[in-house]
Amino acid sequence: EIVLTQSPGTLSLSPGERATLSCRASQDIRNNYLAWYQQKPGQAPRLLFFGTSSRATGIPDKFSGGGSGTDFTLTISRLESEDSAVYYCQHYDSSHTFGKGTRLEIK
């Protein structure tokens, strides 16, 4: 089973800055079955990206996903207070696994 390690655990940035969130896989992800979700307090997760870099419906282009192999990133530019959330990566390989999440705080 592939393990996804997200870093940092918590990221604290100011409005207008850019956030880079990392998701590292324990083995090579050859099929690009890597997705990202945003979860705000008290809400269900919301899909941001699938297939590493395909933006889900309604997700603004300030969000971008990328990477390959074992290293994947979610980048959020022009940070706003509403971007405060926990972000999870997820992979499918006959079973689904999630990373433990990165908490993004906007100062």
Partner 1 sequence: QLHLQASGPGLVRPSETLSLTCSVSDDPITSYTYYWAWIRQPPGKGLQWIGSVFYGGRSYSNPSLRNRVTFSVDTSKNQFSLQLKSVTAADTAVYYCAREVLQTYYHFDYWGQGILVTVSS
Determine if 40 is a binding residue for partner 1 (CB under 8 A). Answer: no
**Number of residues in contact with partner 1 under rule CB under 8 A:** 27
Determine if 22 is a binding residue for partner 1 (CB under 8 A). Answer: no
Q: Which two tokens stand for residue 70?
A: 């074992």
C-beta separation of 11 from 102 below 8 A = yes
| Minimal distance, residue 51 CB to partner 1, in Å | 4
Task: Please tell me the distance from the alpha carbon of residue 39 to that of residue 89, in angstroms, as a whole number.
Answer: 11
Residue 67 or 101 with smaller CB distance to partner 1: 101
Residue 62 or 100 with smaller CB distance to partner 1: 100
Beta bridge partners of 12: 105
Determine if 55 is a binding residue for partner 1 (CB under 8 A). Answer: no
Which residues in this chain contact partner 1 in the complex, by CB under 8 A?
1, 31-35, 37, 43-47, 50-51, 54, 56, 88, 90, 92, 94-101
